[in-house]
Each structure stands twice: as C-alpha cells, then as structure tokens.
Amino acid sequence: MQITRLATPTHETVLRVHDANIGLTGFIAVHSTKLGPAAGGLRMRPYDSEDAALTDALRLSEGMTYKNAAAGLPLGGGKAVIMGNASQKSSSQLLTFARAINTLEGNYWTAEDMGMSPTDMSLLATETKFVAGLPNGPHASGDPSPITARGIFESIKVTAKHQFGSADLNGRTVAVQGLGHVGTYLCEFLHKAGAKLILADIDQKRVAELATQFDAKTATPDQILTVKADILAPCAIGAILNEDSIAKLNVGAVCGGANNQLATSEDGARLYARGILYAPDFVANAGGIINVATEVLAIKGRATYVDEKLSAVENTLDRIFSRAKTLDCSPADVAVAIVDEMLADQAA
C-alpha cells in the first residue's frame, strides 16, 4: 500500500491511498479537527477520475465540519472515498483502507456512507478501532434514520413557528420527496401531529403503500417540487433546489433530511428572495451524526445525550432564523457564518 500526503490549503490532512495489486485507490480527507477528531463516512462509488473522487472527499469532509459543529458535537469534519463499484468491493480493499485510517491515529473516524453496509464496518473494525456504525458491540448505535427523522420533525416545527407564527402542524400540508428510511419515519411523525401529506418517490409501490397508511395525497417525482403545500421536506437526493426549481416552488418553507439540497451557494439567497424560509439541511438533518457520535464518543447515557443534542439543534435553528430576520439575509448564509464563528473562537 502506498500512502501519499497531498498538500491542500483548505484541509488539515489529505491522504491518497493506493494499492495496485488489489485495485484500490481512495482518499481520506480531514478538513478540520478544531472541535475534535474528524468524523464522517466512507463512500464507495465509481468516479470518472481521481480528481472527481478527491473533489468529492474534500467537499464532503468540509460539509461534515459544518454539520458536526452546528450540532454542538465535539467532532471535526472528515470523509473518505474509495473509487469503484461497491458491489465488487473486496475484503482486502477494505482491510487495507482500514490500515490507512490507522495511520491518522484517531484524527479520523469513519462510518457508513453510500456503498457501505454495517457488515463492511464490522470488517473494518477487525483492523481499526476508528470506526462507527457497527451492527453490534457495546456502543453500537444502530440505524440512524429514526433519530434523523425526529430531528427533522422538530426542525419543521421551528420552521413553521418562524414562517407561519405557530409550531402546530395540525392541518398544515407537507410535501415529502423520498419515502426511504428517513422519509418514512418523518411521515409517521407528521401524520401523528395531524399534518396533511403529499407523497412522492420514484418507487410507485412505496408511494401507494404509504398513501394508504397515512391517508395522504400523492404526486409524481416531477410534480412534488411544484405542488401547493405549506412545507416541502426533501428526503431523497441532493441539489434539488436550483435556479429553475426554486422559481417554481409553491410552498412557504423548505425543511427536510436530504444532504446538500442547495445546488449552489447562491440558492439560499434565491429562496430568501422568494420569501421561502429554508432550514439549512446540515442543521436540520444532524440527528444521524448525533446518533453516530454516541458511538465515536462511547457515550453511556445514549438516549439522554441524543435528547439534549436534538434540542440544541432546535435552539440553533431558532437562532439562525432570528438572526437571518434581523440581518435580512438567507438562513443558509447565517448557518455558515455561525459555524465559522465557532471555529474561529476555537482557534483563538
């Protein structure tokens, strides 16, 4: 295995991990350890080039710094990627990668991301202790989706309070895009709170099942971004809020679980200009990383820790919306500024 340290002005440490004998090329990017060891998942997918894989690792690890800091976690931001088709990954690739993680001596903790399963995390754990998302063990944190959905549900209430003057969701219409792990749990919370649901997924069978379960209306994947509703909850894919889609939105607010909902950094301002209140995704969807953090930090009173951190997320979102109103600017920009201040305070 060859490990090459790459110099980048933006990140603390970036490693290129390569072993031609087993077809392994990947990157580990540690964006920041100012608040604690960097934590963020390991992703495996086919990339067009090494440049594309490196760019993804750099971008995602920076995103983790913001997400972890906004959630008030004593964790920095990191991410790792392996180039290749996840269905063809080998044990030797994972074990070699685990040894590369060990060279960072705990400055980077990995977990599941796209292309990885709890079983893969167990295999990594035979070679490195710097891994979370394990299916079992003393601190195993299990499926993060219910906690992620709970955090989004509470964030939707904060968003409704600021945009509509009441956090009560009884009778409010919420359009949910994506009925996977997070979307389904979110629908349960919303339905229980008396919200009316409009559901969409590319899986029509799933849409029909949940429409019956939650007495909901349905929309096609194309329609869901234009339906009339109080709140849009994106819980599928990233970059769905762009110049074109924002112009067609028919909602008062957006708050959901998908990562990287804004296609570009200008899209926060576009939503703001249209009077649509946007809950920054890396704040609202932090439940998942809070759950993983209990494992990384070996927290004993797990449920209490999760409750406290989720309620801190509500307070942070409340503060972001208030400051955005005072400054007359987009909550997305305020969220980034708040984390930048936290990191600067830490450095001082």
DSSP three-state, residue 230: coil
Cα dihedral: 55, 61, 67, 70 (round 10): -110
Strand partners, 284: none
Stretch that binds ligand NAD, among 7-15, 52-60, 94-102, 199-207 (CB under 6 A): 199-207
Residue that has been written with the tokens 């195993």 in this structure: 140
Type of residue found at 118 = P
CA-closest candidate to residue 320, choices 247, 261, 255: 255
Active-site residue, selected from the candidate residues 79, 157, 196, 309: 79
Stretch that binds ligand NAD, among 39-47, 196-204, 244-252, 265-273 (CB under 6 A): 196-204
Q: Count residues contacting ligand NAD (CB under 6 A)?
A: 25
**208 counts as binding ligand NAD under rule CB under 6 A:** no
Q: How far is the CB of 41 from ligand NAD (least distance, A)?
A: 10
Stretch that binds ligand NAD, among 12-20, 49-57, 234-242, 316-324 (CB under 6 A): 234-242
Q: How far is the CB of 85 from ligand NAD (least distance, A)?
A: 18
**179 counts as binding ligand NAD under rule CB under 6 A:** yes
Contacts of 32 (CB under 8 A, 6+ apart): 11, 12, 38, 65, 76, 77, 343
**DSSP run (H or E) holding 53:** helix 50-70
3-state secondary structure 117-154: CHHHHHHHHCCCCCECCCCCCCCCCCCCHHHHHHHHHH
**203 counts as binding ligand NAD under rule CB under 6 A:** yes
Query: Using CB under 6 A as the criterion, what x/- string covers residues 242-271 for binding ligand NAD?
Result: ---------------xxx------------
Q: How far is the CB of 152 from ligand NAD (least distance, A)?
A: 9
Q: Is 76 within 8 Å of 5 (Cβ atoms)?
A: no
CB of 77 or CB of 178, closer to ligand NAD: 178
Q: Measure the CA–CA gap between 60 and 55, rounded to whole angstroms.
A: 8
Chain positions 264 to 303 lying near ligand NAD, rule: CB under 6 A, are 285, 288
**151 counts as binding ligand NAD under rule CB under 6 A:** no
Q: For residue 240, with 0-12 CB atoms within 10 Å meaning exposed, 13-18 middle and 19 or more buried, which class applies?
A: buried
Chain positions 126 to 145 lying near ligand NAD, rule: CB under 6 A, are 144-145
Active site (annotated) includes residue 79: yes
Q: How far is the CB of 117 from ligand NAD (least distance, A)?
A: 13
**Which residues of this chain interact with ligand NAD, rule CB under 6 A?**
144-145, 148, 177-183, 200-203, 206, 221, 235-238, 257-259, 285, 288
Q: Tell me which residues are annotated as active site.
A: 79
